[in-house]
């Protein structure tokens, strides 16, 4: 371990309530212009004072990233970078308990989920992109012109440069590393802006990157909010060569406007209003268990979560009863309790938004089959941002609660009569992120899945990932794809070399 690591440990402690979370710039923990308090959504207690970066700190972070491009990092071979990514994956695994604690403290999600999904995927992201970048080839063409000239054309790929990585709060470490790993694999340097709701795991990851031997300045972390804060300062910064962003569609739109004057590339993974379609020939037990997972995982706070469920009329009552029963069986509680399946929402503000949709659903005529309100949990939890897993019927595609992303543990069940109608209903949305088809007829599964106007179309499963495959959305759900060679393309600029032979 380097002496740098030792000094960082003194200033960037593993989060312990209440702690100070500073910006990480050029290998140093840096104070902000002011601090804000991060609250634990489980019980409303303050867990950290977070240092908000101002213009000066963002300038410093971009300058540190720019300088690192010209340092040893910029001279590393692909093989050396891949080795570094594997060291980072190992270092993440060694610090699993600390990362789980950071993620659970910020989000309130069950420890088992943080361990099995968020932290496991963080390590997997680095290993996957070490493999992907190692296996990547170059475009090359032997050119033969009618006049007899011959040439070798080949494209070399160079890093974009300094990349702004702006991420949300729902799967903080998973989504950060999903972008960081390919950005580093391709030789970029980075300024990360984690969500103001989840500053802890990014701060800890900065420390882990130093432990793994990543050169100073390659990854910098600035904390703060979006508009009029670190997010906007970063996206409008003239030293940024590209922006990769995950978050709300309206934020994506604001970031597009911010980068437009300098014409920088963007990659956007945005919101969704995802549909599931359940045909009468589906294995009902499997489908209902799958729907419960896709609706309620992470308290419905996954961009891929199902919020619209179209069910063939002959099995509508069975699916409704079965899913309502699954919703009622979910166990809300403390994250460290292994029996807990479901945590709180991320914040009181987000709960207000979701409860607003619960109220609107009633006004729009919904029948509430499960949940519908705020639970009373006792055990010191009632100051937290808890909400009941909820299920509605009695709605259709004309209702706002069926058209707008809610991002909570709730779905509307809607009947259909024909395959054509099911596809039309599922595609009747401005979003286009993910869809699921439940059927025992695999020919139908392929047919329907291909006609879904989305980036990811699952059949008889949900959120099963291969990191080499394209990930992203259409319409309001995003611009571009990441994953496998798609990520390599976003994070690099090709230069074509043509040599006359």
Which residues of the chain form contacts with ligand NAD (CB under 6 A)? 166-170, 175, 193, 195-196, 225-227, 231-232, 235, 246-248, 251, 254-255, 269-272, 303, 405, 407, 433, 473, 478
- Least distance between ligand NAD and beta carbon 169 (Å): 5
Dihedrals phi, psi of 361, to nearest 5 degrees? -60, -40
Q: Which does 188 bind (CB under 5 to 8 A by kind): ligand 6OD, ligand NAD, none?
A: none
- Least distance between ligand 6OD and beta carbon 192 (Å): 16
The β-bridge relationship of strands 434-438 and 456-459 is parallel
Could you tell me if 423 and 442 are in contact, meaning their C-beta atoms sit under 8 angstroms apart? no
Q: Which of 471, 480, 481, 489 binds ligand 6OD (CB under 6 A)?
A: 471
Spatial distance between the Cα atoms of 143 and 153, rounded to a whole number of angstroms:
7
Q: Which of 66, 86, 94, 465 binds ligand 6OD (CB under 6 A)?
A: 465
Of 279 and 431, nearer to ligand 6OD (C-beta) is 431
Q: Which does 131 bind (CB under 5 to 8 A by kind): ligand 6OD, ligand NAD, none?
A: none
Which residues in the 152-211 window bind ligand 6OD by CB under 6 A?
Answer: 170-171, 175, 178
Pattern 280-319, ligand 6OD, x by CB under 6 A: ----------------------xxx---------------
The CB-nearest residue to ligand NAD is: 226
- Least distance between ligand 6OD and beta carbon 171 (Å): 5
Question: Catalytic residue among 197, 303, 312, 482, which?
Answer: 303
Edge-to-edge strand ranges of the sheet holding 34-39: 19-21, 46-52, 34-39
Distance of CA 24 to the CA centre of its chain: 21
- Catalytic: 196? no
Distance of CA 63 to the CA centre of its chain: 27
Q: How far is CA 60 from CA 24, 27, 252, in A?
A: 10, 11, 25
Residue 129 burial (C-beta neighbours within 10 Å; 0-12, 13-18, 19+)? buried
- Least distance between ligand 6OD and beta carbon 170 (Å): 5
Sign of CA dihedral 486, 276, 414, 312: positive
Report the SS3 class of residue 116.
helix
For 307-375, give the secondary structure using H, E and C.
Answer: EEEEEEHHHHHHHHHHHHHHHHHCCECCCCCCCCCECCCCCHHHHHHHHHHHHHHHHCCCEEEECCCCC
- Least distance between ligand 6OD and beta carbon 465 (Å): 5
Question: Catalytic residue among 269, 364, 388, 405, which?
Answer: 269
Q: CA-based angle 12:16:18, to the nearest 5?
A: 95
- Catalytic: 498? no
Question: Is residue 128 involved in binding ligand 6OD (CB under 6 A)?
Answer: no
- Least distance between ligand 6OD and beta carbon 28 (Å): 30
Residues labelled as active-site residues:
269, 303
* Contacting positions for ligand 6OD (CB under 6 A): 170-171, 175, 178, 302-304, 465, 471
């Amino acid at each position: 371990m380097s002496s740098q690591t030792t000094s960082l440990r003194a200033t960037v402690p593993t989060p312990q309530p209440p702690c100070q979370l500073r910006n990480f710039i050029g290998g140093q923990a840096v104070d902000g212009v002011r601090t804000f308090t991060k609250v634990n959504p489980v019980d409303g207690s303050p867990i950290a004072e977070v240092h908000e970066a101002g213009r000066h700190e963002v300038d410093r972070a971009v300058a540190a990233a720019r300088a690192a491009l010209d340092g040893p990092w910029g001279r590393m071979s692909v093989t050396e970078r891949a080795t570094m990514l594997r060291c980072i994956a190992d270092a993440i695994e060694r610090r699993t308990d600390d990362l789980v604690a950071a993620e659970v403290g910020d989000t309130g999600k069950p420890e088992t989920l943080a361990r099995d999904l968020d932290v496991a995927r963080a390590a997997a992201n680095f290993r996957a992109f070490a493999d992907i970048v190692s296996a990547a080839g170059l475009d090359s063409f032997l050119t033969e012109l009618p006049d007899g000239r011959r040439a070798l054309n080949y494209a070399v790929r160079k890093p974009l440069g300094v990349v702004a990585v702006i991420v949300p709060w729902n799967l903080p470490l998973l989504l950060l590393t999903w972008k960081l790993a390919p950005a580093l694999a391709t030789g970029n340097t980075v300024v990360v802006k984690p969500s103001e709701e989840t500053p802890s795991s990014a701060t800890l990851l900065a420390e882990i990157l130093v432990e793994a031997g990543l050169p100073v300045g390659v990854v910098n972390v600035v904390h703060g909010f979006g508009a009029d804060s670190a997010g906007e300062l970063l996206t409008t910064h003239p030293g940024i060569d590209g922006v990769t962003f995950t978050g709300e569609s309206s934020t994506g739109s604001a970031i597009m406007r911010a980068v437009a004057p300098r014409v920088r590339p963007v990659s956007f993974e945005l919101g969704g209003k995802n549909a599931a379609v359940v045909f009468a020939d589906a294995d009902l037990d499997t489908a209902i268990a799958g729907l419960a997972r896709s609706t309620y995982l992470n308290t419905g706070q996954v961009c891929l979560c199902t919020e619209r469920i179209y069910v063939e009329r002959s099995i509508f009552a069975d699916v409704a009863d079965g899913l309502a029963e699954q919703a009622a069986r979910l166990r809300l509680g403390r994250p460290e309790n292994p029996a807990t399946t479901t945590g709180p929402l991320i914040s009181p503000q987000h709960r207000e938004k979701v409860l607003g949709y619960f109220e609107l659903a009633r006004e729009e005529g919904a029948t509430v089959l499960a949940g519908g309100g705020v639970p009373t949990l006792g055990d010191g939890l009632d100051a937290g941002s808890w909400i009941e897993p909820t299920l509605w019927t009695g709605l259709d595609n004309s209702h706002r609660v069926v058209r707008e992303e809610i991002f909570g543990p709730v779905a509307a069940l809607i009947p259909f009569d024909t395959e054509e109608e099911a596809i039309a209903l599922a595609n009747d949305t401005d979003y286009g992120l993910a869809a699921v088809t439940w059927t025992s007829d695999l020919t139908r599964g392929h047919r329907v899945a291909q006609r879904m106007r989305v980036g990811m179309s699952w059949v008889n499963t949900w959120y099963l990932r291969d990191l080499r495959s394209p990930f992203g959305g259409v319409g309001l759900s995003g611009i571009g794809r990441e994953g496998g060679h798609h990520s390599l393309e976003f994070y690099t600029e090709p230069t074509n070399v043509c040599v006359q032979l």
